[in-house]
C-alpha cells in the first residue's frame, strides 16, 4: 500500500523485471457480495455480481464490496492509470483460488516498467452512492499523476442517412459510400474528405433566389431545418474518434487531410476475452487509417471548422475506444490517448462552446480519466437492438439488458460524465418499457424512428409541446436492495431505479429477466427459463433523498403519497412501508413518491403528485409554496411546467382551485384533486392555487 487519503489508499507493487504487461494478485475475495462494472465488449461495459474472486470478470473497471452487520463498510476498488500504464481487474490466474488479479499494461512492447505506486485505489464509506463521488475528488486519481492533494441517425436505425464522404480501400476515390448500410460494411470504410457527400452538397435552400453562404448545400439544409422546425435549437452530427470506423484513407491527394498510416489493430489479452463483435473483427482485419498523434489536431480542426461553418452545433464522437489497439508504435495506449483527447478537447473549445459533444463506445477507464475534460455527456449502455433475434418466450430479452447496462454503469460513469441512456424507437414492441426508463433517467430523451413511423401518444408522455422534457434533477441509479443482485438472469430480482425531481422522488420498477452475459460462452445469451412474472416490494425508503444534486429534506415527514402510474392509484405509506408490485416480463411501473405536509391552520394533509399524463409525473412540479391567508384559510401554490391532468393528494376537498388567478373546475376522488392545466404557449410555469 502507498499514500493514504482520509478514507482510502493507493496500492502499487514492485517486480524484478520491467515489462509492458503485468498480472499481479491483489488478494483473496471469498464470501463477500460484490457488484462490478466490466467490459463485455471492446466498447461497452455492464454489471456483474458475485461473491468471490472466481466470479470477477476480465477487464473489470470497478468493484464495490458490500458492507456487513459487524461494521465493515462498503469498499470501492478502482483500477487506475499510472504514468504510461493502465490497470484493470480480473479473476485469479489459478482456478478456484478466490484471488482477484490486477492487470497493468502499457499497450506497447516498447514501454516497460517494474515499479508502480498508484495503479489501484481503495476507498471505504457507509454510503454506496457517495463512495465513487468522494473517490473521484481525490487529487490526481486516475490521470496517471499518482497520489496527491431529438431524432438521430443511430446505428440501430434502419435506412440511416450518411453525411460523410467515405469509401472502401478498393473503391475509386469518387465513390461516396452512403449506401453501405448492411451489417459490417461500414467498418472497413475510411474518410476521404471533411466535406459532406453530394446529397447534401447539392441541396437547394427553400428561399429561392436568396444569395448568401447558406443558400445551397449543408449550410442551407441546417438553416431550413432550424427555421421549419422552430424547436430544433441544435444540430449535431456523428463522427468516429479516428474520423470514420476505418479511420482516414491515406493517399487521397486531399491536402486538407492530415498525414496518416494504416495500422493493424492488436487486441490485448483482456480484449481477446470480450464478446465476439463483428465491428471489431472487420476493423482488425482491415486496419485503421490512423492520423499520426503529432498531427491529430489537424484532424479535428479540419473536420470541426467545416462543420461549424455550415451551422452544425456539436458532434457525437463514436468508436472511441480504438486507440488502445493501435498504440504499439506511439508510446503506448495512455500517451496515444492523451494526444488525441487533447486535440479533441482543444477543437471542442474552439468550435463547439467547449462541450458540444456526446461520447459513445467509450466504456473504459482510459477515456474516463483522460478524455472527459470537454466531454460531459456520454452513452452508458450498449445499443438499442431493435431486431427480433434471440427472443425469450416471445419477448425481446435484450431490452432488459439495455436498462440494466445503463442503470449499473451509471454508478461509476455518472460521477465522471452525465449518463445518456441512448435512443429507442417509439413503435417498437418494448417502446413503453424504454420510454419509462428514459423518462426518469435524468438524461436526454431521443428517438430514432423511421420517418413517418411514430407513436405520438407515447411521445406526448415524454415531450412537452415546445419540445422540452421533464428531466429529473439527478441521474437514475439502482436502489440499495438490488445493488448486489442479478436483475437479468437470476429469475427473481426486479430492476429498481431511483431518481429525484425538485419536490418528489421517482422510482422505476422493471422486469428485465430473460438473459444477459454468459461467462461460459463469452457472449450475451437468452435465458428463457428466467423470463417470468415477478413480484417485489418498493416504498419511500428506496428513494435516496439525500443523494441528489439538490437533496430533498424529509426530516419530520412521517407519511408519503405514492402514485402508481400504470395502476393510476395512490397509496399513503410511512417511510419504512412498502407496496407490493407484480410485473409480467418486460413490463414496468413508475412510482411518484411525495412527502406529505400538514397545513398548519386546518391540519389538512397535502402532497403534490404532478402531471399524470406524463411518464415523469413529478417532474412537472417546478415550485411549491404554502401560504396562510388572512381569513384563516390555507393556500398551496404550485408552479407547473407542461399541460394535462395535474393531480395532488389532499385529505380534504379544497374550497377552490385557481389557474393563473382564475377559478377553475376540479375533481376530488379518492383523496386526489385533479385539475386540467392548459398549455401556456410559453416556457413559463402555470400557477395553480389550491385553497382550503
* Structural domains of the chain, ranges and CATH numbers in brackets: 8-136 (no CATH), 150-379 (no CATH), 387-595 (2.60.40.1180), 598-692 (2.60.40)
The Cα–Cα gap between 150 and 312 comes to 14
Q: What is the mean pLDDT of residues 287-306?
A: 98
pLDDT class for 93, splitting at 50, 70, 90? confident
Angle between helices 397-413 and 431-439 (to 10 degrees): 10
The Cα–Cα gap between 100 and 419 comes to 29
Query: Residue 673: beta bridge partners?
Result: 648, 668
* Mean pLDDT computed over every residue of the chain: 91
> Is the pLDDT score of 498 beyond 70?
yes
| pLDDT per position as a tens digit, 317-360 | 999 999 999 999 999 999 999 999 999 999 999 999 999 999 99
Number of Cα atoms under 13 Å in the Cβ half of residue 685: 18
> Is the pLDDT score of 176 beyond 70?
no
How many other C-beta atoms are found inside a 10 Å radius of the C-beta of residue 241?
Answer: 26
pLDDT at 392: 46
Share of the chain above pLDDT 70, in %: 90
pLDDT class for 119, splitting at 50, 70, 90? very high
Q: What is the mean pLDDT of residues 636-661?
A: 98
C-alpha cell at 68: 456487513
How many other C-beta atoms are found inside a 10 Å radius of the C-beta of residue 428?
Answer: 18
How many other C-beta atoms are found inside a 10 Å radius of the C-beta of residue 598?
Answer: 15
Q: What is the DSSP letter of 527?
A: -
| pLDDT per position as a tens digit, 534-569 | 999 999 999 999 998 889 999 999 999 999 999 999
**CA-based Rg of the chain, rounded to a whole angstrom?**
27
| pLDDT per position as a tens digit, 297-318 | 999 999 999 999 999 999 999 9
The Cα–Cα gap between 27 and 92 comes to 9
Angle subtended at Cα 509 by Cα 503 and Cα 512, rounded to the nearest 5 degrees: 150
C-alpha cell at 16: 524484478
Dihedral angle of Cα 420, 426, 429, 433, to the nearest 10 degrees: 40
> Do the Cβ atoms of 132 and 80 come closer than 8 Å?
no
Name the region of 25 (left: φ>0; alpha: ψ -120 to 50; beta: rest): beta
pLDDT at 401: 95
The residue written with cell numbers 476521404 in the block is: 192
pLDDT at 149: 38
**Residue 382: CB partners within 8 Å, gap ≥ 6?**
41, 44, 46, 401, 402, 405
> Is the pLDDT score of 156 beyond 90?
no
Number of Cα atoms under 13 Å in the Cβ half of residue 364: 28
Pairing of strands 597-599, 604-611: antiparallel
Q: What is the largest CA-CA distance in the chain?
A: 85
Q: How far is CA 531 from CA 269, 387, 513, in A?
A: 34, 18, 5
Query: Residue 315: beta bridge partners?
Result: 237, 357
> Do the Cβ atoms of 318 and 361 come closer than 8 Å?
yes
The Cα–Cα gap between 597 and 634 comes to 12
pLDDT class for 654, splitting at 50, 70, 90? very high
| pLDDT per position as a tens digit, 252-286 | 889 999 999 999 999 999 999 999 999 999 999 99
**Residue among 465, 484, 477 at smallest CA distance from 506:** 477
| pLDDT per position as a tens digit, 38-79 | 999 999 999 999 999 999 999 999 999 999 989 999 999 999
Backbone φ and ψ for 456, nearest 5 degrees, come out as -70, -30
Q: Decide which of 229 and 482 is more confident.
A: 482
State the pTM of this model: 0.93
The Cα–Cα gap between 30 and 581 comes to 34
Amino acid at each position: 500500500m502507498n499514500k493514504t487519503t482520509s478514507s482510502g489508499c493507493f496500492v502499487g507493487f514492485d517486480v524484478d523485471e520491467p515489462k509492458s504487461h503485468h498480472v499481479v494478485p491483489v488478494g483473496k475475495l471469498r464470501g463477500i457480495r460484490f457488484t462490478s462494472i466490466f467490459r463485455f465488449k471492446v466498447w461497452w461495459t455492464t454489471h456483474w455480481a458475485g461473491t468471490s474472486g472466481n466470479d470477477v470478470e476480465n477487464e473489470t473497471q470497478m468493484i464495490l464490496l458490500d458492507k456487513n452487520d459487524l461494521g465493515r463498510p462498503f469498499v470501492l476498488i478502482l483500477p487506475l492509470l499510472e504514468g504510461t500504464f493502465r490497470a484493470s481487474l480480473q479473476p485469479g490466474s489459478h482456478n478456484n483460488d478466490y484471488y482477484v488479479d490486477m492487470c497493468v499494461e502499457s499497450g506497447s512492447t516498447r514501454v516497460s516498467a517494474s515499479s508502480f505506486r498508484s495503479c489501484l485505489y481503495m476507498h471505504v464509506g457507509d454510503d454506496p452512492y457517495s463512495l465513487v463521488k468522494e473517490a473521484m475528488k481525490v487529487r490526481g486519481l486516475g490521470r496517471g499523476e499518482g497520489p496527491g492533494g431529438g431524432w438521430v441517425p443511430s446505428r440501430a436505425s434502419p435506412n440511416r442517412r450518411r453525411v460523410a464522404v467515405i469509401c472502401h480501400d478498393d473503391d475509386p476515390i469518387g465513390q461516396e459510400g452512403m449506401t453501405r448500410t448492411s451489417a459490417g460494411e461500414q467498418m472497413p470504410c475510411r474518410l476521404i474528405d471533411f466535406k459532406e457527400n453530394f446529397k447534401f452538397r447539392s441541396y437547394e435552400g427553400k428561399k429561392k433566389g436568396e444569395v448568401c453562404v447558406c443558400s445551397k448545400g449543408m449550410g442551407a439544409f441546417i438553416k431550413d431545418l432550424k427555421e421549419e422546425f422552430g424547436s430544433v435549437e441544435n444540430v449535431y452530427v456523428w463522427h468516429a474518434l479516428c474520423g470514420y470506423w476505418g479511420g482516414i484513407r491515406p493517399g487521397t491527394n486531399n491536402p486538407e487531410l492530415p498525414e496518416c498510416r494504416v495500422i493493424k489493430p492488436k487486441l490485448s489479452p483482456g480484449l481477446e476475452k470480450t464478446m465476439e463483435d463483428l465491428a471489431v473483427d472487420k476493423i482488425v482485419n482491415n486496419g485503421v487509417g490512423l492520423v499520426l498523434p503529432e498531427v491529430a489536431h489537424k484532424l479535428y480542426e479540419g473536420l470541426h471548422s467545416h462543420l461549424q461553418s455550415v451551422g452544425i452545433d456539436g458532434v457525437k464522437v463514436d468508436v472511441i475506444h480504438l486507440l488502445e489497439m493501435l498504440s504499439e508504435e506511439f508510446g503506448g495506449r495512455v500517451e496515444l490517448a492523451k494526444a488525441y483527447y487533447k486535440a479533441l478537447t482543444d477543437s471542442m473549445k474552439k468550435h463547439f462552446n467547449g462541450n458540444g459533444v456526446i461520447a459513445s463506445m467509450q466504456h473504459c477507464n482510459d477515456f474516463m480519466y483522460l478524455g472527459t475534460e470537454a466531454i460531459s455527456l456520454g452513452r452508458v449502455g450498449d445499443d438499442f437492438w431493435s431486431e427480433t433475434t434471440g427472443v425469450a418466450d416471445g419477448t425481446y430479452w435484450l431490452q432488459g439488458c439495455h436498462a440494466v447496462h445503463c442503470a449499473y454503469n451509471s454508478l461509476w460513469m455518472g460521477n465522471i460524465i452525465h449518463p445518456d441512456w441512448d435512443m429507442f424507437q417509439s413503435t417498437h414492441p418494448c417502446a413503453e418499457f424504454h420510454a419509462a426508463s428514459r423518462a426518469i433517467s435524468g438524461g436526454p430523451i431521443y428517438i430514432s424512428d423511421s420517418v413517418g413511423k411514430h407513436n405520438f401518444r407515447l411521445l406526448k408522455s415524454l415531450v412537452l409541446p415546445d419540445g422540452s422534457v421533464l428531466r429529473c434533477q439527478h441521474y437514475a441509479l439502482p436502489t440499495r436492495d438490488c445493488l448486489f443482485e442479478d436483475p437479468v438472469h437470476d429469475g427473481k430480482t426486479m430492476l429498481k431505479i431511483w431518481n429525484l425531481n425538485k419536490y418528489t422522488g421517482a422510482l422505476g420498477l422493471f422486469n428485465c429477466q430473460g438473459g444477459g452475459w454468459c461467462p461460459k460462452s463469452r457472449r450475451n445469451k437468452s435465458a428463457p427459463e428466467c423470463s417470468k412474472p415477478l413480484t417485489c416490494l418498493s416504498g419511500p425508503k428506496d428513494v435516496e433523498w439525500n443523494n441528489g444534486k439538490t437533496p430533498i429534506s424529509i426530516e419530520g415527514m412521517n407519511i408519503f403519497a405514492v402514485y402508481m402510474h400504470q395502476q393510476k392509484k395512490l397509496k399513503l405509506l410511512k417511510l419504512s412501508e412498502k407496496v407490493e408490485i407484480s410485473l409480467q416480463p418486460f413490463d414496468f411501473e413508475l412510482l411518484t413518491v411525495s412527502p406529505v405536509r400538514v397545513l398548519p391552520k386546518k391540519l389538512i394533509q397535502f402532497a403534490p403528485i404532478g402531471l399524470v399524463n406524463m411518464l415523469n409525473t413529478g417532474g412537472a412540479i417546478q415550485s411549491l409554496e404554502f401560504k396562510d391567508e388572512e381569513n384563516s384559510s390555507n393556500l398551496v401554490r404550485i408552479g407547473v411546467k407542461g399541460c394535462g391532468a395535474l393531480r395532488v393528494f389532499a385529505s380534504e376537498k379544497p374550497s377552490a382551485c385557481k389557474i393563473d388567478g382564475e377559478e377553475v373546475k376540479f375533481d376530488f376522488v379518492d383523496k386526489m384533486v385533479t385539475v386540467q392545466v392548459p398549455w401556456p404557449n410559453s416556457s413559463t410555469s402555470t400557477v395553480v392555487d389550491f385553497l382550503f
